[in-house]
A = this chain, B = another copy of it.
């Protein structure tokens, strides 16, 4: 079933079919109707390979995401998908594992599928100009920006929250409640990731309040699974049982940590307050509901696509910083001791 079949069926040439398909103006209404009917009758669907081949670039935007199992990224992905569709583009998702490199994978995807743009959803913070040139098309980093890298501002776009400042804000909330012994659960303190930035925010919030950072209150999960967060909390508890508050870098970690605290007989929030960053849906329904700084997931996805489309159409690259909003749950209380 090709354009040729449709052409024969409706008694016109294939160029006319093409014109109808692409909404070109110069087709007689009568002919257009006839062709449309033929397309319907034959259940004709254009071959996108042929279409992409002849236009040396497609209308396809690639999204490279490291692991769809992350519920936060999943919900951003959802809004990216909506936005791409609304903008009239097609999306192709490419999932990668923890070890794979999103830039290399993305660059390969661009060439292979002749993408017109690329979205990196949850990636490294330290790209170099050398590696990103290989991407060749406009790209935007979604949920993060090039904090540790050496990219020119004009070379990429990003939509992100200020991880340092937001973590600072979260910890400050704990301090304002009266907490002094505040533990933190994070991926790692020195991996050039979101964790490192948020760790800095944690440290500075403490220092600016005159509290010294105590390394034995810092626990690294070495991964983002709930299981690892649970185990890390157990390690933390084995070492220290006197902290009155806990800051976790993600909601998932927060939920797992609360469970570990609970199982160890530590009541949240009475014995220990907990605050996190993300604001995924399920953490509204945990008991107690998690207090968290909610990332604007929907705007994040929509703005990412808007900026990408703008850059594709010739506008300048830009970095857009979004703000979180406190979603009050039930995990905050003043310290008892």
A272-313 residues with Cβ-Cβ distance < 8 A to B are: 281-282, 284-287, 289
Give the secondary structure class of A's interface.
helix
- Which of B47, B48, B75, B256 is within 8 Å of A285, CB to CB? B256
Residue of B nearest to A263 (CB): B287
- Does chain B have a CB within 8 A of A1? yes
- Which of B46, B53, B93, B230 is within 8 Å of A93, CB to CB? B93
State the CA gap A114–B284 with chains docked (Å): 43
Number of copies: 2
- Does chain B have a CB within 8 A of A111? yes
State the CA gap A167–B83 with chains docked (Å): 38
Question: Which residues of B sit under 8 angstroms from A256, Cβ to Cβ?
Answer: 285
- Does chain B have a CB within 8 A of A69? yes
- Does chain B have a CB within 8 A of A49? yes
The reply to whether A255 and B75 contact each other, CB–CB distance below 8 Å, is: no
Residue of B nearest to A258 (CB): B287
- The number of chain A residues with a CB under 8 A from chain B is 44
What are 9 A-to-B residue pairs whose CB atoms are below 8 Å?
A46-B112, A48-B112, A53-B53, A68-B74, A69-B75, A74-B74, A226-B281, A226-B285, A259-B289
- Which residues of A line the B interface, CB within 8 A? 1, 43, 45-50, 52-53, 58, 67-69, 71, 74-75, 77-78, 81, 92-93, 95, 108, 111-114, 134, 226, 230, 252, 255-256, 258-259, 262, 281-282, 284-287, 289
